[in-house]
Structure 1
């Protein structure tokens, strides 16, 4: 099967499961041109996958924000433990 025909088939016959995989892959890598077109065409007709795309984006943003936060220093952790222990003993 020619490459063009294979690309057209992917664009025309992408189902929700395939779209979900591409939406996930899109977070980690650049999609191929044929994958981008297939996903665009599917999203034009599928409201559920459009909503899923929004959810994937929100989760991806949250993960990136968490990954960029600095970890607490050991001294900060120790101070927090002491504050918690003090409050528990005061109760």
Structure 2
């Protein structure tokens, strides 16, 4: 996935969105590390700064991918501010 595609899907994923996503999932920084392949100290460093999630593009992509694979949807700022939600589980047939 290119940076352009990441930007189009998640224009500015923020540290607050990542923290909120972890809270929805009940994940610690260690859990996110295990699911994303990004070291726990790196996650802690990135979450320590408010604003857009910093770091290398590849690192951000790994974090966002892990959270979306776990069912998190990132919501862009549509007048109410950026946010996250858990995707609805697929309906059983």
Between the two structures, name the one with larger relative contact order (CA 8 Å, sep ≥ 6): 2
Shorter-chain TM-score range: under 0.3
Between structures 1 and 2, the one with greater helix share: 1
Q: Which structure has greater strand proportion?
A: 2
